Structure 1
């Protein structure tokens, strides 16, 4: 590799890291706010919150890396133009094609990395997210239990909770129907208060009522404390990743079998999205160079503004296309690939205008 190519790659590295970090942080803001609420209000440990955040990163990075590459390239080559380094490159015989070569190589490597994220890391991240959610539920079942809703998903019990004190995680006015296969009527448990220990609900100051086969009261009593196991409720939570966004491309293709044409649409949209977005990295990197070369007045602010405008337009077009494809208005191929085709067309047009020499 030529010294000048190494110089370009060395200079573009930090701006790309900055761009990826910036867009990733923007995407993470809503998640961070939600997690802060979980720390303050629901009492989830900081370690669990950081783990959750780390599992959110891979799917976000698969979207923000192309954006960061575009911004980083624009910042770098705007600086090269302002400092006349592009002019110096031209003076030693480098064409625009030569200048683009190291950027295309770098963008191609990054594209392969995004595919690796999608096919290997992201499915694992989604699985880990669900696993840690179940862990939190086991440690504090109150997150899964809602007020004034009859819960009938527990194997031996039906639960009704009137009120939950979120600060203390204590429940007030708890009604429990304990199922009995030998009787037509369940045992009724009434508790004034309840708290959680491991995966057990512990009732305090409670009464119980059992009934005969004809529905008449059989036994009435009181007890100071009774444990109600909820482990079966949480064991039934399925940790299998079902969201198609978490599936690798191979699994998405396999899922197309034995599906109707209408059922195939979301899978085809996702398959095309998982190919189109990584490949957009190469086009955006080239576009960043050809847009920046020759504009001597463009600074970081200008580069940032142009980058945001183009990226925003691309995201809007992609999302609109995906929505239309999912609704069957357009083909999944048209809906997903049209924004990329527009990027390619615009990039080729600008490249042809400037390919006479980097000025």
Structure 2
């Protein structure tokens, strides 16, 4: 390649960097904002520390990056080639003898590099982030709201196991008045505690909550004589409610679902599922063969109409039905994992496909500007995503093969892009 060709190629690559980074920033901002809006109720309602909230949002950025990179490639290609075409630079390059494929090749090189990086990202980084995000979300969901009664006067509080609390008044110093507590015991008869006043205490070194009650009464039914009502008075009473949920317990788990495994682990599990399914089918065939052999060659008292033979036949038939269901379930699990494997490869490959579509579209749009490029990007990506989701659903139901479900959107859009390139080449020839 001549030095002029190298300069032209580097220039075309540089022209895509700014639109790509701009598109990536905007898309990431929208995805992060959407995640915050979805998670904010859970985070605020559970009283989660801001460090934990930031960690959760950071863990969600992995799938956002995996989604934003292909979208940014499409938007960047549309905007970059649209600007070059609008400023008549494409015409100038064509006048110098540069073909349409020569113009698009630098974009394909950069798109291919991004695709390879995204494959590594989806296989190494994304599963780990998904795993940690799922565990952290489960930990947050298990966390009780921080005990705060200031805004809960007159409201029945059931944050604590086996306790329901009704507070008439809460003063500024966390003192409480007119307290009624229903404590449910194993006998089935609840214990009712009333107090004129009290206060809330947290135990040092633990997350336990205590109510320090004063001037109250205890009411309960006698365990042996339910018709006997027992009442007792107290000056002071300390009642342990349980954990207050101020601390977040972190879970460590080795279990991973299909979105939390790398490609190698998924292939191992696919082979295990398929081997289990084959073993089940072979065992079922052996049982069926043994039953038929006994019925045909057993002789003597072994006759199809004999009661013991009928019972054996029904037993084997029922076992065969359950084995067939189990084998089918194993194969469906293997199919779902195959879908995830192909998805980890097909979405990064979309970086190349979107260059093939975006570059000729950008040249044809010309002066449409960023708004037109953004609209086309959203439209094509929505079309791509609809095909991808529909294919995933069909593959999970074993209607289409996993590879066809995940690669058909790429093939369709690549075909559209190639048609656009051919027409563009013939038009400017």
Which residue matches 1:199?
207
Which residue matches 1:59?
63
Q: Distance in 2 between matches of 1:228 and 1:40?
A: 21
Question: Is 1:89 aligned with 2:89?
Answer: no
Question: Is 1:335 aligned with 2:411?
Answer: no
Question: Is 1:258 aligned with 2:272?
Answer: yes
Q: Distance in 2 between matches of 1:249 and 1:191?
A: 59
| Residues 81-116 of structure 1: per-residue CA shift (max 9 Å, x gap) | 010111121122211222122111111111122112
Report deviation, 1:79: 0.4
Which residue matches 1:160?
162
Q: Distance in 1 between matches of 2:242 and 2:92?
A: 78
Which residue matches 1:303?
373
Asked whether the equivalents of residues 136 and 250 of structure 2 are also in contact (C-alpha less than 8 Å), the reply is no
Change in CA separation of 1:132 and 1:235 when aligned onto 2, cut-off 3 Å: closer
Which residue matches 1:181?
none
Q: Distance in 2 between matches of 1:252 and 1:337?
A: 18
Q: Distance in 1 between matches of 2:361 and 2:266?
A: 37
Q: Structure 1 residues 106-115 or 187-196, which shifts more?
A: 187-196
Unaligned runs of 5+ in 1: 152-157, 179-184
> Of residues 141, 145, 148 in structure 2, which corresponds to 1:142?
145
Q: Distance in 2 between matches of 1:357 and 1:107?
A: 26
Which residue matches 1:47?
51
Unaligned runs of 5+ in 2: 147-154, 274-329
Structure 1 residue matching 2:410: 3-state secondary structure: helix
Which residue matches 2:240?
226
Change in CA separation of 1:321 and 1:175 when aligned onto 2, cut-off 3 Å: farther
Which residue matches 2:262?
248
| Residues 218-261 of structure 1: per-residue CA shift (max 9 Å, x gap) | xx998414374699x98795544533222221121122233221
Q: Distance in 1 between matches of 2:252 and 2:165?
A: 27
RMSD: 4.2
Change in CA separation of 1:276 and 1:204 when aligned onto 2, cut-off 3 Å: farther
Structure 1 residue matching 2:271: 3-state secondary structure: coil
Structure 1 residue matching 2:161: 3-state secondary structure: strand
Asked whether the equivalents of residues 46 and 144 of structure 2 are also in contact (C-alpha less than 8 Å), the reply is no
Which residue matches 1:154?
none
Change in CA separation of 1:173 and 1:337 when aligned onto 2, cut-off 3 Å: farther
Which residue matches 2:25?
21
Which residue matches 1:271?
341
Asked whether the equivalents of residues 318 and 339 of structure 1 are also in contact (C-alpha less than 8 Å), the reply is yes
Q: Distance in 2 between matches of 1:353 and 1:296?
A: 16
Q: Aligned pair count?
A: 338
Q: Distance in 2 between matches of 1:40 and 1:229?
A: 19
Report deviation, 1:331: 2.2
Asked whether the equivalents of residues 96 and 357 of structure 1 are also in contact (C-alpha less than 8 Å), the reply is no
Structure 1 residue matching 2:368: 3-state secondary structure: coil
> Of residues 294, 312, 317 in structure 1, which corresponds to 2:382?
312
Change in CA separation of 1:58 and 1:290 when aligned onto 2, cut-off 3 Å: same
Which residue matches 2:12?
8
> Of residues 106, 112, 120 in structure 1, which corresponds to 2:110?
106
Change in CA separation of 1:80 and 1:234 when aligned onto 2, cut-off 3 Å: closer
Report deviation, 1:119: 1.6
Asked whether the equivalents of residues 162 and 184 of structure 2 are also in contact (C-alpha less than 8 Å), the reply is yes
Asked whether the equivalents of residues 115 and 348 of structure 2 are also in contact (C-alpha less than 8 Å), the reply is yes
Q: Distance in 2 between matches of 1:313 and 1:340?
A: 11
Asked whether the equivalents of residues 283 and 343 of structure 1 are also in contact (C-alpha less than 8 Å), the reply is yes
Which residue matches 2:299?
none
Q: Distance in 2 between matches of 1:164 and 1:82?
A: 70
